[in-house]
Structure 1
Amino acid sequence: MLNGKVVVVTGASAGVGRATVRELARQGAAVGLIARDRGRLDAAAAEARAAGVRACVAPADISDADALERAAATIEAELGPIDVWVNAAMTAVLAEVSDTTPEEFKRVTEVVYLGSVHGVQCALRRMLPRNEGVIVQVGSALSRRGIPLQATYCAAKHAVKGFCDSLRAELIHHDSNVKVTLVQLPGLNTPQFGWVRTRLEHHPQPVAPIYQPEVAARAVVHAISHPKREHWVGGSTVYTILGEKLISGAMDRFLGRTNEDGQQTDIPIDPAERDDNLFSPPPGDPGAHGIFDADAHDRSPQWWLNTHRPLVAAGVGGIVAVAVAAARR
């Protein structure tokens, strides 16, 4: 279904963005890749081209609206009109609020929130005149429920969710065929935890259960052809969002007692000595994965059930029919 489509991915050089580029290439889409590090972008583009699709590298810091617009123009000039825009870039500071500087809060907000806004506006400038296109916002269960140590990221993701709600209502007001969809993700095994800025003295880790970035990538690509309001990926995302709705006070207490330790491994680190990606890209090319391959799940039963509802319903119906028939004997 994506053959011939032109898809832009921000944050395309690593993590969810890198895995999404690979999945898009597997499904035949031409891919425009945006991130700061040219070397990692070239490596990601080479992977896409090896899969037989066209790829265009356009380095930019998404917090710079003008630079992002130039990147979008470069991609369109090389690949053609943009059909889909995926906002996947992120950064964060893992530290308590009292240990986080104003400059760090500002930078995370500029990348995670304003970078998404800039990406959406680049997409709208192209999609609204044609009255078609899909915008996929990579979100997080943490856009609904803040957790300790991640105030910078949680607050920015909350802002993204509110922004998408406003945008969606405006598109409905204008009866637009441009669609916006939000993919809410669980904890993932990406390089994020190896280069996130932190004040912790032990290596950060995602909140369990941990999923591989390919789970997220498949969900993002699915959302392109199924752009409903929100997609929830992973059982932990479901219970996090529903828990916040139903027992938010109890979640405050549970997270306060358990979650700071739950976001740290036993591996000691010196936070002052390690490279981070907050203001500049760190060296090397880790690809899509972090260091938690041994603990990460490459499938989500919840997501499979969510995307195979007719098959599940038919199976349940068959079981009920057999049970009823047996009871009548």
Structure 2
Amino acid sequence: MASGGKVVVVTGASGGVGRAVARRFAERGDRVALLARGEKGLAAAADDVRAVGGVPLVLPVDVADAEAVDAAAARTEEELGPIDVWINDAFTSVFAPVTEIGAAEFRRVTEVCYLGYVHGTKAALDRMLPRDRGAIVQVGSALAYRGIPLQAAYSAAKHAIQGFHEALRCELLHDGSGVATTMVQLPAVNTPQFDWVRSRLPRRAQPVPPIYQPEVAATAVVHAADHPRRREYWVGGSTVLTLLGDRVAPGLLDRYLARTGYDAQQTGERRRRDRPSNLWEPVDGADGRDHGAHGRFDADAARTSPQLWASRHRGALTAGAAAAAAAGAAVLARRR
């Protein structure tokens, strides 16, 4: 059994935010169990963890399989020790209007993006509750509060995670448990997902600005794991606006997104018909390649977030969030 640092489990660790999160924990000397489907991405993530002083454990798993997730948790404890932190971040999606997403596709996104979180959380609770200690972090999204066009399946899954998180948090508080859960609500992040999720859009998919680097998200997730008693953390101005915008101007975001949401999520380039899709199989599998943490939007992505600072410092949060929401609402009102 390995020794030194905390034992951390990260789902979706082969790429994007999960990859950056694993590296950030490893920089502290933690032991990191890496859960994902893609072999190439997992191997590269393990190299990242070793390179910065952490201890990796590669566990190929599809989080939609509850038994497999529980088995991965058991192996983590056998090889690394008792789990201190569990990060749920596994992801897949379909970019398309509701009328162009099949029932099986809706089910698959739900199984990974929502039920995968449930499976991970229950595997963690089964081990943490008897010890009366541990932290569970749900990596959420602005879409947990505000659905957007062309991302119905993903928006619905994030809404479901939010409800699950709130219910679980209340139960843990009722029991006076030493186990805590928190949620990190992310804005648009520069990850490879925009080139590997299933897409039926006519043009190449892109995140809705403002865009942040995955390391910003990773900093928030690690901080949340260290301070899991907070209900949630916000990262990025768009997240704050999403949370408060409809309260400032009810219904305004619906009309605004109806007009702008399609173009805002696509570049001017035509979508390649032969682009990969990770809905059913990983694009970084045995026949694929490692895609890393970053996507193709490095030139446009911010490396810092004032809103994250405000979220981590309670005194500044209320004023900062209110100011951001008011400013955002004013901008949207001018564009009506």
TM-score (norm 2): 0.89
Aligned pair partner of 1:261 in 260, 263, 269:
263
Give the distance between the partners of 2:17 and 2:246, measured in 1 at CA: 25
- 8 Å Cα contact 1:140-1:183 kept in structure 2: yes
Partner of 2:306: 301
Q: For residue 27 of structure 1, report the CA deviation from its aligned partner.
A: 1.7
Q: For residue 209 of structure 1, report the CA deviation from its aligned partner.
A: 0.5
Q: For residue 306 of structure 1, report the CA deviation from its aligned partner.
A: 3.5
- 8 Å Cα contact 2:114-2:160 kept in structure 1: yes
Give the distance between the partners of 1:155 and 1:179, measured in 2 at CA: 24
Aligned pair partner of 1:285 in 269, 282, 290:
290
Partner of 2:209: 208
Identity of aligned residues (%): 58
Q: For residues 204-233 of structure 1, give each alpha carbon's deviation from its aligned partner in whole angstroms, at most 9, with x where no partner exists.
A: 001110100100000000001111101011
Give the distance between the partners of 1:309 and 1:102, measured in 2 at CA: 42
- 8 Å Cα contact 1:144-1:244 kept in structure 2: no
Give the distance between the partners of 1:21 and 1:168, measured in 2 at CA: 24
Cα 1:104–1:25 change in 2 (3 A) is same
SS at match of 1:116: helix
SS at match of 1:279: coil
Give the distance between the partners of 2:295 and 2:26, measured in 1 at CA: 22
Partner of 2:241: 239
Q: For residue 305 of structure 1, report the CA deviation from its aligned partner.
A: 3.6
Q: For residues 143-185 of structure 1, give each alpha carbon's deviation from its aligned partner in whole angstroms, at most 9, with x where no partner exists.
A: 0000000000000000000001111111112111100000000
Give the distance between the partners of 1:51 and 1:206, measured in 2 at CA: 29
Name the aligned partner's letter for residue 10 of structure 1: T
Partner of 1:82: 83
Give the distance between the partners of 2:314 and 2:244, measured in 1 at CA: 20
Give the distance between the partners of 2:185 and 2:269, measured in 1 at CA: 29
Name the aligned partner's letter for residue 296 of structure 1: A
Larger radius of gyration: 1
Partner of 2:55: 54
SS at match of 2:139: strand
TM-score (norm 1): 0.91
Give the distance between the partners of 1:54 and 1:143, measured in 2 at CA: 33
Partner of 1:130: 131
Name the aligned partner's letter for residue 202 of structure 2: E
Aligned length: 310
- 8 Å Cα contact 1:35-1:61 kept in structure 2: yes
Partner of 2:173: 172
SS at match of 1:58: strand
SS at match of 1:281: coil
SS at match of 1:267: strand
- 8 Å Cα contact 1:8-1:33 kept in structure 2: yes
Name the aligned partner's letter for residue 181 of structure 2: V
- 8 Å Cα contact 1:63-1:114 kept in structure 2: yes
Cα 1:171–1:308 change in 2 (3 A) is closer
Give the distance between the partners of 1:223 and 1:307, measured in 2 at CA: 9
Give the distance between the partners of 2:167 and 2:312, measured in 1 at CA: 26
Q: Within 5 Å, give how 1:83-232 maps onto structure 2.
A: 83-227=84-228, 228-232=230-234
- 8 Å Cα contact 1:183-1:232 kept in structure 2: yes
Give the distance between the partners of 2:250 and 2:146, measured in 1 at CA: 8
SS at match of 1:82: coil
Structure 1 spans left out of the alignment, 5+ residues:
313-329
Q: Single out whichever of 22-31 and 208-217 deviates more from structure 2.
A: 22-31
- 8 Å Cα contact 1:6-1:31 kept in structure 2: yes
Q: Single out whichever of 296-305 and 259-268 deviates more from structure 2.
A: 296-305
Q: For residue 28 of structure 1, report the CA deviation from its aligned partner.
A: 1.9
SS at match of 1:18: helix
Name the aligned partner's letter for residue 32 of structure 2: V
Partner of 1:16: 17
Q: For residue 304 of structure 1, report the CA deviation from its aligned partner.
A: 2.5
- 8 Å Cα contact 2:10-2:35 kept in structure 1: yes
Cα 1:297–1:170 change in 2 (3 A) is same
Q: For residue 21 of structure 1, report the CA deviation from its aligned partner.
A: 0.6
Give the distance between the partners of 1:182 and 1:119, measured in 2 at CA: 14
Name the aligned partner's letter for residue 212 of structure 1: Q
Q: For residue 39 of structure 1, report the CA deviation from its aligned partner.
A: 2.1
Give the distance between the partners of 2:103 and 2:316, measured in 1 at CA: 51
Q: For residue 307 of structure 1, report the CA deviation from its aligned partner.
A: 2.9
Name the aligned partner's letter for residue 27 of structure 2: R
